[in-house]
Amino acid sequence: MPAATNRLDARFAQLRANGKRAFVAYICAGDPSLEATVEIVKALDAAGADVVELGLPFSDPLADGIVNQLAADRAIRGGTTTVKVIAMIKEIRKHSQVPLVLFTYLNPVYTYGYERFHQDAAAAGADGILVLDLPADEAAQNAELKPTPELAHIRLIAPTTPHDRVAKIAAVAEGFIYYVSREGVTGAQTSIATGIAEMVAQIKSTTDVPVCVGFGISNPEQAATVASMADGVVVGSAIVKLIEKHGQSAALASEVAAFVKPLVDAVKAL
């Protein structure tokens, strides 16, 4: 299990003690550059984000919608690599202690070396990892892919996940559970998905691990509605789209902060 000092556990414990929900922000590491990513993370922290998910650029991000796919492509074409992302985390830690989760696919981690990746990322200052295409039971059946104690392993649960499987996934979840509120790929939506409250209640009946809801949340009203049903809200594509729009601007980080602050405020107002 992750160490008791894991920033994720500490942050969610603090939020729970204060009766508050978490705001989780997703960005793609290296978009538009690694240097800009450091500044964006600092801006997200200052705006009140409780957790930052750093997407590890990958050439075949099949769970991502077009906005996040293009961000990964921009980062890769800009020279971002796994090694450079880990080095960037060290730089972030000089300025911020916001909990960091690496949002990735198995291929980059496996290529780097599964155990070594966990050790190096944790040593750099990462707190958790979410491997989108590594089911919990698959990891349990392969000794080389079993979770290691250096990083909290965030697990995904979807609307189509059967009840008995929800319990199995929740039993091995660490940090928080990411409830994917709709089928399909990532991307901002004009309305929130249905059935969130019921599914979150089902998940929470099986575990004390916090449940954060993502996929499709893009404005303060949606964020507040979803936060009222869960322990936290994840916003990604809407932020990434803003980064694409202002990527070449010297005011990029401040633009991100200005966009995120009303979302954070909506979540914290509950």
Which of 262, 260, 210, 253 lies closest to 101 in space, CA to CA? 210
Segment 59-78 mean pLDDT: 94
31 as an active site residue: the answer is no
Q: How many CB atoms lie within 10 A of CB 79?
A: 10
Gap between the Cα atoms of 17 and 216, Å rounded: 28
Quote the mean pLDDT of the chain: 93
Instruction: Write the CATH number of the domain with boundaries 7-151+216-268.
Output: 3.20.20.70
Confidence of residue 1 (pLDDT cuts 50, 70, 90): very low
Which of 206, 207, 203, 208 lies closest to 229 in space, CA to CA? 203
| Candidates 9, 45, 50, 64; catalytic one | 64
138 as an active site residue: the answer is no
| Candidates 50, 53, 127, 174; catalytic one | 53
Q: Report pLDDT for 181.
A: 85
Residues 224-257: tens digit of each pLDDT: 999 999 999 999 999 999 999 999 999 999 999 9
**Apex CA 25: angle with CA 264 and CA 124, to 5°?**
130
Residues 179-238: tens digit of each pLDDT: 998 654 444 445 566 789 999 999 999 999 999 999 889 999 999 999 999 999 999 999
Q: What's the predicted TM-score (pTM) here?
A: 0.94
